[in-house]
Amino acid sequence: MRRFGRKLIRCILLVLALNLSLVSFTSQAKASDNTFYDMKARAAYAIDAQTGQVLYQKNAKKTYPIASLTKILTLAVIEQDIKEHKLSWDQKIKVTPAVAKVANDWHFSNVQLNAGEQYSVRQLVESMMLVSADGSTEALALADAGSTAAFNRKMQAVAKKAGVTDAKIYNMIGLPNSSLGTHRLKNVDKDAENEMSAKDLALVSKYVINKYPETLKITKKKFANFDVTAGQQYQMVNINALLPQNGYAPKDWEIDGLKTGNTDAAGKCIVTTGTYAGHRVILVALHTKGDWNNQSKMQKEFYEALAANYQPVALNKITDLPKQVQRARVVHAKKQRYVRLQLAKPQWVWVRKGEYWPATKPKFVPATAKQSVTGRLKAPLKKGQSVGHVELQIQGMPAVKVPVTSSQTVAVRSFWN
């Protein structure tokens, strides 16, 4: 009897183990089916910079420490103030002893800055973006705004212009608050670090690239000389390993930016951007797994997997899509039961290679404000009015929403008719 009991227990344990294995296998298969690439990172986000189409997302809306990716936002403020003639590229900035202390601390990323020496805004910006120089970043921000707190307010304002409303900003560099010494924020935790989401960083990057094209002229440089003193020059080497001819340059892509970052809390972070078939993609990854080489390898693999499996295709008119989304049922209308739809504007959509629009399973989704209690599109409608979107299911990618409008004016049925 005891022997039978032991055998029964072994059988039960074996069945449980098999079930757990099947669950694990199923979940892995599902993860594989839902995305064309698995970025080993705490959070990641990729978009088409022109259309805003989301190509990949992973914990994309959750905020995390972002380390030196902060400097993308810092650059946006500096370029804004240059455009508004509050600064100039050739303007000289005198380095204070406090800034020199940060610049020459081996714990941080830096080029040498000497107290009392003057450096141009262009020099400092190049060192900030190519080799992530912390001292140069601090020198720029303090010369621009006068204090860390004042520059933080400018960063918040620019972030809002980019569509970001909940960024936690403590300094211009991305270091823990205490690392700024005399320029740290008072009454703020010493370990406080800037936090944003992967999606927010993509929005900021998109904003600065589109608003200030000078950005990419800087970040695509592989080398630049930094004049430490009149007789001492330092050659900076861009730390972006994905630039053309570098070891991790992705095939068929032209990568020309953007920034890396690293702190204990943030881990290794990166934002890259480049073009393929005339389309710019922005890719963000926070707290990537492994070392710097692993991070660069993943970015390269992502870009190459995207180009191998997908292509941007022009969607020019509603008749390019199946007939079921070329018109929509409309309720409460005076005379007609259907309304013809049209695209709000032509747009490009990344789709799987070899697939046609019917494979995306298009579905019309009425705008919330134009839905009846049964979820139908309701009258009245004006010609050209936004009425919702057509949702496209792209295998391996998040769904795409294509805005549509009414091609007709539709009067509402009166109560008495």
Per-residue pLDDT of the chain (417 residues; tens, 9 = 90+): 444 444 444 544 444 443 433 333 333 333 334 789 999 999 999 999 999 999 999 999 999 999 999 999 999 999 999 999 999 999 999 999 999 999 998 888 889 999 999 999 999 999 999 999 999 999 999 999 999 999 999 999 999 999 999 999 999 999 999 999 999 999 999 999 999 999 999 999 999 999 999 999 999 999 999 999 988 999 999 999 999 999 999 999 999 999 999 999 999 999 999 999 999 999 999 999 999 999 999 999 999 999 999 999 999 999 999 999 999 999 999 888 999 999 999 999 999 999 999 999 999 999 999 999 999 999 999 999 999 999 999 999 999 999 999 999 999 987 544
**Scanning the structure block, which residue is given the tokens 């549509």?**
404
Burial category of 115 from C-beta neighbours within 10 Å (exposed 0-12, middle 13-18, buried 19 and up): middle
Report the distance separating Cα 259 and Cα 253, nearest Å.
Answer: 17
pTM, to two decimals: 0.89
Question: Measured between alpha carbons, how far is residue 51 from residues 22, 55, 144, 170 in Å?
Answer: 40, 11, 33, 31
Locate tokens 């309701």: which residue?
A: 378
CA distance 104 to 117: 13
pLDDT attached to residue 415: 54
Beta carbons of 106 and 160 less than 8 angstroms apart = no
Give burial (CB, 10 Å; 0-12/13-18/19+) of 8: exposed
Q: Alpha-carbon distance 406 to 342, whole Å? A: 6
Pairing, β 118-120 against β 63-65: unpaired
Using the 8-state DSSP alphabet, how is residue 72 labeled? H
Helix (H) or strand (E) holding 238: none
- Per-residue pLDDT, 157: 97
CB-based contacts of 318: which residues, under 8 Å, 6+ apart?
A: 325, 326, 340, 341, 342, 343, 404
**What three-state secondary structure class fits 295?**
helix
CB 250 within 8 A of CB 296: no
